[in-house]
Amino acid sequence: MNTEILLFLISSITLTLMPGPDILFVISQSISKNRLTGVLISLGLCSGLLIHTSLIIFGLSPVISNNYFIFQLFSSCYLLLLISQEFNLLPSIYFSRLNFNLNSPYLKGLIMNLINPKVILFFIAFFPAFLFSNTIDVKTQFFILGLLFFAQALIIFISVSYLSEKIFNSFNISSKSPNTSYIKTAIYILIIVLIWFD
């Protein structure tokens, strides 16, 4: 295996395992749901990684990096919506379509990843350091690195989801218990803090 690719994988795995918005979001969505929900959340988050890779390939990443504050606001508002949903503060008669989107695990993960501005900034800074060939087109190399990042992140997110579900179930806390909503809300607030101050 190419040395740069091996280093990229090691670095990617290390960074993915570090506590950050995406992995905390996986935990928050897995503690009160079934295993399929965690898989769909993970797929949604990782689909967002592929879209961020495409933005870099087509030179559109500055759209996000130059509007970082706006995406911070989007991320925070989205998480506040999820908190509102936890405590049934959204009037479903007016927000039926919004509630459908909020209840879709895949869309939850996808939206969370796409509006997290730290992801695109990370990709912009991280990917160019691991270009591994003088003969392969740079865009193709970015695409390959994006696929590798997608694969390792998906495995880790699904594993974290499974472990979170197991640990949560070991405490015999009902998914409908108010304590579950409080735990998830605390994680959402922590994610907001990380997006703004990390």
Q: Which of 110, 181, 118 lies closest to 150 in space, CA to CA?
A: 110
Domain spans of the chain? 22-197
Residues 43-79: tens digit of each pLDDT? 999 999 999 999 888 887 777 778 888 888 988 998 9
Residues 79-88: tens digit of each pLDDT? 998 888 888 7
Predicted confidence (pLDDT) at residue 149 exceeds the cutoff of 90: yes
Distance from C-alpha of 44 to C-alpha of 154, rounded to nearest angstrom: 10
Can you tell me the mean pLDDT for 14-27? 89
Residues 106-134: tens digit of each pLDDT? 999 999 998 887 888 888 888 888 988 88
Predicted confidence (pLDDT) at residue 176 exceeds the cutoff of 70: no
pLDDT of res. 32: 65
Give the C-alpha distances (Å, rounded to integers) separating 78 from 23, 73, 98, 101, 109.
Answer: 16, 8, 11, 11, 11
- At residue 147 the predicted structure's pLDDT band, cuts being 50, 70 and 90, is very high
Residues 32, 180 contacting (CB under 8 angstroms): yes
Q: What is the pTM of this model?
A: 0.85
Predicted confidence (pLDDT) at residue 102 exceeds the cutoff of 70: no
- At residue 33 the predicted structure's pLDDT band, cuts being 50, 70 and 90, is low
Tally the residues of the chain. Answer: 198
Would you give the end-to-end CA distance of the chain in angstroms?
34
37 token code pair: 């929900």
> Which tops the pLDDT comparison, 27 or 86?
27
